[in-house]
């Protein structure tokens, strides 16, 4: 998407490589996600379309499946490059060689 990656959900058998973070203090969950939602463009005017949408997904982590939140891109990707491997860091390394 230019300077930042974006992901879209699919029904196909594709995977993303990413980072998983855990909020240590559960009482800070609502505050933390309020901050993240604001950063990811979920808090918008009524007539606008959010840049992302947040949903729960299953993540493979430490040899097990765990639930996690993800921010899916919520705009058009027409004309944007596809990271077929699902690993944006690998994609950027190959692109810069």
Give the model confidence (pLDDT) of 57-80 as tens digits: 999 999 999 999 999 999 998 988
At 59 the pLDDT is: 92
Q: Are 28 and 49 in contact (CB under 8 A)?
A: no
At 14 the pLDDT is: 79
Low-confidence ranges of the chain (pLDDT < 70): 2
At 69 the pLDDT is: 95
Q: Which long-range contacts (CB under 8 A, 24 or more apart) does 21-28 make?
A: none
């Amino acid at each position: 998407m230019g300077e930042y990656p974006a992901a879209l959900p699919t029904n196909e058998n594709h995977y993303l490589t990413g980072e998983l973070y855990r909020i240590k203090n559960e009482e800070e969950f609502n505050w933390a996600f309020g901050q993240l939602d604001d950063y990811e463009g979920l808090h918008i005017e009524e007539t606008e379309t959010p840049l992302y949408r947040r949903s729960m997904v299953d993540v493979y982590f430490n040899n097990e499946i765990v639930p996690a939140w993800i921010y899916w891109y919520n705009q058009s990707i027409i004309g944007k490059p596809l990271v077929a491997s699902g690993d944006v860091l690998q994609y950027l390394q190959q692109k810069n060689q």
